[in-house]
Chain A
Amino acid sequence: MPAASVYLDHNATSPLRPEAFDAMVEALRTGGNPSAVHGVGRKARGLVDKARRQVAARVGALPAEVIFTSGGTEANNMALAGCGRRRVLISSIEHESVQRAVPDAEVVPVDGDGVLDLSALERKLAASDEPALVSVMFANNETGVLQPMADVVRIARKAGALVHCDAVQAAGKVPVDLHGIGIDYLSLAAHKLGGPTGVGALSVRADAPFASNRFGGGQETNRRAGTENLSGIVGFGAAAEAARGLDATLRNQGEAAFLAIAPHARVFGAGARRLPNTTYISMPGVPAETQVMALDLASVCVSAGSACSSGKVHRSAVLAAMGVEDAEAGSAIRISCGWNSQSGDIDRLIVAWRDLYIRVGKSDISNARAA
C-alpha cells in the first residue's frame, strides 16, 4: 500500500533522497571509527569532513563551524545551554525543544499571520541590561511562515544579544545564510531535508561563545562527545548538497483549488512570506482528526499538526499564539510537499479533500448556519 499512497507530510519527515541513500550504503559498508588512527579510521574521518563541508555550504557557514548532533532537538538544546546567556527571549511559536529547554524564557508574541512582533522584541530587549540570547525559528513547522531573521539580528545586535535560529524546517527549502544574516547559532535536522533521521547539526559562528554540555571522548573538537554517526552524517551531507530549495508551484496549485472548492476555508499565514511547500488550512466545521483519517483512507498522508507531540492530537499552540479561535484551529490540517512530490499527488489530495468537503463539510456548515 505505501508505494501507491501519496505522502504530503514532509515537515514531519521527508523520505531519504537517493543521493543520501547511495552515500549512506557506501559508508555503512566502509565502517570504521572516525577517531581511530589507522587507515580504516582515517577513511571514515575523510567522509565526515566531506559531509561537514556539504552541510556548511548549504547554510553559509564554515566547515569548522558545524557540529554534528543526533538531530534538531539536541541542536536546539545544545545552543540554549551552551551560549552562556541566562536571559533568553523566544517567540511564542517556537518548537517544544526550544520552549522546554528554557522554561523561564521571555516570550515575544506573533501577529495574526504568525510573524514575530519586532517592536515587542525591541521593547522587551530594552527592558533589561542583562546580556540576552534571542531564539527565533527561521520557518514555523506548522504554518511554514518565515520569520524576519535579518531584522531579528539587527535588533538583537543593537541590544548586545546573541541570536539562535532553529532552521530545521527552512534549510534546504529556502536559502539560509548564517554569515549573510549574522546568526550566531543555527540548528539543523537532516531528515527534514531528505537526509536520514538521527542526525542533525548545530552551526556555531566562529566567534560566538559556546560551551559543550556533553561529556566524553572529545569528538567534534570537544564540542559534542560520542562516536560520530558515520552513515548518518554522510547521508546528511549528501542530502544537504542535493537540497537546493523547493518551488511553490504545487502548494499554490493546491491552495487555489481548496479555496475554489470551499470559499470559507482559511489558509493560515497566507499574508506572510512562507515556505514554498507548506499549507496549513482549515475546513470549517470538520475536525482535523476526521479529515486526516478520511484522507488516510484515500491513501493521502497529511498531518493534523506537528508530529512531535508523541502522537497526541491537541490544539495547536502555534494557532493559539496567532489568535485563532479553538473551533477553527481544531479543523486545521497541514499539507507539506517535498523533493519527490508531483503534480499528480496534489490532484489526488484535492479530489479526496473535495469528496470529504461535499460529504461532511458542506452539510456541517449549513447545519451550523441553520442553528
Chain B
Amino acid sequence: MNVQTQIRRNDQPIYLDYQATTPMDPRVLEAMMPYFTHQFGNPHSRSHSYGWEAEEGVEKARGQVAKLIGADEKEVIFTSGATESNNLAIRGVAEFYKDRKNHIVTTVTEHKCVLDTCRHLQEQGFEVTYLPVQKNGLIDLDELRAAITDKTVVVSVMAVNNEIGVIQPLAEIGKICREKKTFFHTDAAQAAGKIALDVEAMNIDLMSISGHKIYGPKGIGALYVRRKPRVRLVPLIVGGGQERGFRSGTLPTPLCVGLGAAAEICMKEMGDEAERLAKLQARMLKGLQSKLTDIVVNGDLEHRIPGNLNISFAYVEGESLMMGIKNLAVSSGSACTSASLEPSYVLRALGVEEDMAHTSLRIGLGRFTTEHEVDTAVEELVRHVKKLREMSPLWEMAQEGIDIKSIEWAAH
C-alpha cells in the first residue's frame, strides 16, 4: 500500500523525526472515524446502545494492546499517554509500598518524565539510585545487581532510548529484578511495536506505552500492570473509578480504538518493517560516511532500533545545521526539551564531550520513510555540513593540525 502520498504533501519537509512523534497510519484513522461520528457514546454509559458500542470498541482495543506485549487484557489500563503512564507506574507503586520500601533504581538516560518523577519522590523522602550507562548507552548488569537492596520497590529502566535508540537488555534486567524480589517497570514508549516485547518472558511488571509513537493518536497511552503476582498502585487521578480504580476519567473511545488498531498493525508488520528500516538506516549511514569525514554515531549500533541514528557532525553546531536543512524535519535533541537548546544529557551520560554533543542530530526513520527521502536527506546533510565546516574556525584549526583541546577557551 502506497501511503506515502497521503502522508506528505510536496510542500512539506521530509519527516525524519519519528522518535518525537509518528504520523498516524491512515488505517488507524479509518478505525477511529466511526467512533468520532455515529458511535460517539460514553463507554461507561450502561443504559443504552451508544454506551455499549463504545465499550465494545474500547475492550477490543485493550485486547489488541495486550496481545502486542504478551499480556492479558485485564492487565492493560488506558492513560493519556506515556508521560502519565510513567508517572503513575513509579509514583503509584512507590506510594503504595512506602511503609515497607523506600528505594528506587533508575538510569541517568531515562526520559525526563521518569527523572522528574524520581526527583519528586526524592523530595518526599525516597532514595533514588541513578545508574550510569556505558559508552554505548547500555547499563552494566552487575552495577544494577549491586544497586538493588531489600528496600528497592521498583527498578525503572527504559526499553529503548528516545535520543539514541539503544535497546536495554530487558530480559536480563527482568530476571535480576525477579531474583531480587523487586518490581520491574520499563518505559516502552519507543520500543512497543518496534521490537518484540513479552512481559512474561522478560519478567516485566509495569510497562508504559504511547499511542503517538506507534502511528496511533496523541493523547492516549497505556500502562501494563501485572496481576500475577499482583502489583498494586495508588492512583494519580481519582474520581469515577474507571480502569479498575487505577485511572479515573471518561475513556476517549476513538483514541483507545486508535491505539488498539495501531498496536495490531505493529504486531503484524513489525518483522518486515524492522528489516526495511535496517536497510534504510544502513543506506543513510553509508551515504554520509562515504562523503563526510569526522562523523560519529552516538550509542550502540548493534543493540539499537533500526529507526534511529544519532550522529555528531564534528565542528558543525547542530542548531545551525538544522537551520540549513530546511527541507528536513529532524531534531537536535529530544523534542520535549528542544525549546532549550542545551546539549543533551543523554549524550553527556555516554561520555560524549560537550563540544561534540553540540554537533549532534537525531534522525528518526519510520514506516513512511522512502529510499528516495533517505538519499535526498543525505545529499542535503552533506551539502550543509560541508558549507558550515567551511565557515567553522574549529574545522579550520583541525585541518591545520591544531588540537582544539590544547586551546584555553574562555567560558562565556
Q: Is the CB of B48 within 8 A of A301?
A: yes
Q: Is the CB of B219 within 8 A of A216?
A: no
Q: Is the CB of B217 within 8 A of A38?
A: no
Smallest CB gap from B251: residue in A: A197
Q: Which residues of A contact B41 (CB under 8 A)?
A: 12-13
A303 on interface, CB distance cutoff 8 Å: yes
User: Closest CB-CB distance, B303 to chain A, in whole Å?
Assistant: 25
176-229 of chain B: CB within 8 A of chain A: 210, 212, 217-220
User: Closest CB-CB distance, A4 to chain B, in whole Å?
Assistant: 11
A70 on interface, CB distance cutoff 8 Å: yes
B332 on interface, CB distance cutoff 8 Å: yes
Q: Is the CB of B248 within 8 A of A97?
A: yes
Q: State whether A74 and B80 are in contact (beta carbons under 8 Å apart), knowing that A16-B40, A21-B36 are contacts in the complex.
A: yes
User: Closest CB-CB distance, A201 to chain B, in whole Å?
Assistant: 13
Task: State A12–B84 Cα separation when bound (angstroms).
Answer: 24
Smallest CB gap from A20: residue in B: B36
Which of A9, A73, A189, A191 touches B248 (beta carbons < 8 Å)? A73
88-113 of chain A: CB within 8 A of chain B: 95-98, 100-101
Q: Is the CB of A308 within 8 A of B218?
A: no
20-75 of chain A: CB within 8 A of chain B: 21, 24, 28, 31-33, 35-41, 69-74
Which of B305-313, B336-344, B402-410 faces chain A?
A: B336-344
Q: Is the CB of B113 within 8 A of A15?
A: no
Chain A: residues with Cβ within 8 Å of the partner, total of 73
Q: Is the CB of A77 within 8 A of B241?
A: no
B149 on interface, CB distance cutoff 8 Å: no
Smallest CB gap from B113: residue in A: A216
Q: Which residues of B contact A37 (CB under 8 A)?
A: 322, 331-332, 338-339
User: Closest CB-CB distance, B219 to chain A, in whole Å?
Assistant: 3
Smallest CB gap from B83: residue in A: A226
B31 on interface, CB distance cutoff 8 Å: no
Q: Is the CB of B50 within 8 A of A9?
A: yes
291-309 of chain A: CB within 8 A of chain B: 292-293, 296, 301-304, 306-309
B56 on interface, CB distance cutoff 8 Å: no
Q: Is the CB of B29 within 8 A of A28?
A: yes
Smallest CB gap from B241: residue in A: A310
Q: Which residues of B contact A230 (CB under 8 A)?
A: 218-219
B15 on interface, CB distance cutoff 8 Å: yes
303-321 of chain A: CB within 8 A of chain B: 303-304, 306-313
Task: State A302–B42 Cα separation when bound (angstroms).
Answer: 12
Q: Is the CB of A198 within 8 A of B239?
A: no
Q: Which residues of B contact A199 (CB under 8 A)?
A: 219, 252
Q: State whether A226 and B50 are in contact (beta carbons under 8 Å apart), knowing that A35-B335, A38-B322 are contacts in the complex.
A: no
Which of A13, A24, A76, A309 touches B40 (beta carbons < 8 Å)? A13
Q: Which residues of B contact A21 (CB under 8 A)?
A: 36-37
Task: State A12–B37 Cα separation when bound (angstroms).
Answer: 16
User: Closest CB-CB distance, B92 to chain A, in whole Å?
Assistant: 13
Task: State A228–B84 Cα separation when bound (angstroms).
Answer: 12
User: Closest CB-CB distance, B316 to chain A, in whole Å?
Assistant: 17
Smallest CB gap from A8: residue in B: B48
Which of A24, A32, A40, A197 touches B250 (beta carbons < 8 Å)? A197
Task: Type the 1/0 row for A197-227, where 1 means its CB is closer than 8 Å to any CB of B.
Answer: 1110000000000000111111100000111
Q: Is the CB of A77 within 8 A of B238?
A: yes
231-268 of chain A: CB within 8 A of chain B: 231-232
Q: Is the CB of A310 within 8 A of B240?
A: yes
B155 on interface, CB distance cutoff 8 Å: no
Q: Is the CB of A35 within 8 A of B338?
A: yes
Q: Which residues of B contact A35 (CB under 8 A)?
A: 20, 335-336, 338-339
Q: Is the CB of B250 within 8 A of A308?
A: yes
Q: Which residues of B contact A7 (CB under 8 A)?
A: 50
Q: Is the CB of A33 within 8 A of B21?
A: yes
Q: State whether A231 and B322 are in contact (beta carbons under 8 Å apart), knowing that A13-B40, A216-B87 are contacts in the complex.
A: no
Task: Type the 1/0 row for B111-151, where 1 means its CB is closer than 8 Å to any CB of A.
Answer: 11100110110000000000000000000000000000000
Q: Is the CB of A31 within 8 A of B249?
A: no
B382 on interface, CB distance cutoff 8 Å: no
Q: Which residues of B contact A342 (CB under 8 A)?
A: none
Using CB atoms and an 8 Å cutoff, list the residues of chain A in contact with chain B. Answer: 1-3, 5, 7, 9, 12-13, 15-16, 21, 24, 28, 31-33, 35-41, 69-74, 76-77, 95-98, 100-101, 189, 191, 196-199, 213-219, 225-232, 292-293, 296, 301-304, 306-313
28 A-B residue pairings within 8 Å (CB atoms): A9-B48, A15-B37, A16-B37, A31-B23, A31-B24, A38-B331, A71-B252, A73-B237, A77-B237, A96-B240, A97-B238, A98-B239, A191-B252, A197-B250, A198-B251, A217-B112, A218-B336, A225-B83, A225-B116, A296-B47, A301-B50, A303-B48, A307-B42, A307-B250, A308-B248, A308-B250, A309-B240, A310-B240
